[in-house]
Amino acid sequence: MINALAAAKAYAATQKTAGIEPGMGGGDVAGVGGGFADLLKSAMTDAISASKHAETQMAAQVAGRAELVDVVTAISAAEASLETVMAVRDQVISAYQEIMRMPI
């Protein structure tokens, strides 16, 4: 279940991905990043790259080429990216369900 802190972090990460300064009143997101689809694509790309980086760090640590701190940091970054994607997904599903409940 998503809590308020996770939602706020997801919102800030989404603003950062769109190139908007978090907490500065937003702006025209469509003019900055090209639209909602590009925003989602960027968030998914960031999450995938963070996961791949974490996997690479784990393999390097097992082989003795990386420090444990680097592995933990990479895993934490991947977890934060995944939580952001899940929070955005939950909000999109919630918005869809709200639209489906609207009377015609």
pLDDT greater at residue 28 or residue 3: 3
Note the pLDDT of residue 21: 64
Domain that holds residue 71: 4-20+28-101
Give φ, ψ of 35 to 5 degrees.
Answer: 125, 180
pLDDT band at 30; cut points 50, 70, 90: very low
DSSP 24-89: TT---HHHHHSSHHHHHHHHHHHHHHHHHHHHHHHHHHHTT-S-HHHHHHHHHHHHHHHHHHHHHH
Note the pLDDT of residue 43: 83
CA distances from 25 to 15, 29, 51, 67, 100 (A): 10, 11, 31, 40, 30
The region that residue 3 occupies, defined by phi over 0 for left and psi between -120 and 50 for alpha, beta otherwise, is beta
Domain tally, the chain: 1
Q: Tell me, yes or no, if the pTM score tops 0.85.
A: no
